[in-house]
Amino acid sequence: MSVARSLRERLRIRAAALAAIREFFAERDVIEVDTPALSAAAVTDPALASLCTAVRSLGGRRYLQTSPEFAMKRLLAAGSGDIYQIARVYRDTELGRWHQPEFLLLEWYRIGFDERALMDEVFALLALVLAPRFPKLARLDLDYREAFEAAFGVDPLRLDTDARRALTEALTERDIDTPANLGPDALLDLAIGTTLAAGWPKDTAMFLYDYPATQAALAVVRPGDPPVAARFEVFVNGIELGNGFRELVDAVEQRRRFEADLVTRRGAGLPEPPIDTELLAALEAGLPECAGVAVGLDRLLALLSGADSLADTLDFPH
């Protein structure tokens, strides 16, 4: 049930949460930074759509950041040390109960951390910020592969034709619409969003980890049989709050992934944005081993205030 709150109360909740976040990082000597919203390059991930505009004073098109990740990694490579940012970010084609085309993102990077150490810190932050509403927030870590095998009887890391058919049938039996043109990763995401997350215990931070290597994005792929992405996502009450991973520091591999993304985009008829060569240069110069995470602050504030959607907690929803 949605909790109606006055403007004044919403502003107080937001201000207190932001103050707690800044104190959390100050105690850990993690420095707040501010990076540009406009860039000559854009994210290549086919699942994300950038907003772009013509900036006459800069002589061409500029893209609004979908995340401050690329610029923050340039700071890391330049010797910034541990950093965080509360950034306004922009994504096209996103509008719904838990999506807005512009929203607040909390992103931070910890040098020397792997994804497991970062999961611990994410939980510490969530427990602190959500304490007024969830004073005894629990935690449960769940292996991605084990979660799918238990719920659907399929191996998500070896999603062959038979496994895809079995997963599609399992979702259909639960009255989940599964379009025929869904790729394997999109099908897995659909299963998480519609079925897995809905069945997890309430008032619990659920950490789903060791994603398929095909969903590594900018994460390290850990070798194995099969290999997995050193990546996790965190959910509370069925709402995805954060996505984190041990960062890829190999410039050659990162360029290969960017170029593969563009090939995928071309095949799907999607725009092909310029690759961020400044990020690649930073990786070549030497990005320190680190882990990073992005947390949707508007979703976090919605949970904190008991809202049923982002529109119920934002002062100016689209």
Q: Return the SS3 of 211.
A: strand
Which helix (H) or strand (E) segment is 178 a member of? none
Peptide bond preceding 227: is omega within 30 degrees of 0, i.e. cis?
A: no
CA–CA separation, 230 vs 109, rounded Å?
Answer: 15
Q: Which ranges constitute the DSSP H helices of 240-296?
A: 251-268, 277-286
CA–CA separation, 58 vs 42, rounded Å?
Answer: 16
Whether pTM exceeds 0.85: yes
Predicted confidence (pLDDT) per residue in 25-58, tens digit: 999 999 999 999 999 999 999 999 999 999 999 9
**Contact at 8 Å (CB) between 83 and 30?**
yes
pLDDT at 4: 55
CA–CA separation, 259 vs 44, rounded Å?
Answer: 8
| 182 pLDDT above the threshold of 90 | no
The CATH code for residues 7-137+203-312 is: 3.30.930.10
CA–CA separation, 108 vs 42, rounded Å?
Answer: 20
Amino acid identity for residue 110 in this structure: R
**Contact at 8 Å (CB) between 71 and 36?**
yes
Q: Which residue has the tokens 């006055």?
A: 6
Helical packing angle, 251-268 and 277-286, nearest 10°: 160
Predicted confidence (pLDDT) per residue in 215-272, tens digit: 998 999 999 999 999 999 999 999 999 999 999 999 999 999 999 999 999 999 999 9
Q: Return the SS3 of 150.
A: helix
What would the mean pLDDT of 94-101 be, rounded to a whole number?
Answer: 88
**Can you give the residue ranges of every domain in the chain?**
7-137+203-312
Tokens of 2: 């949605």
Tokens of 5: 């709150």
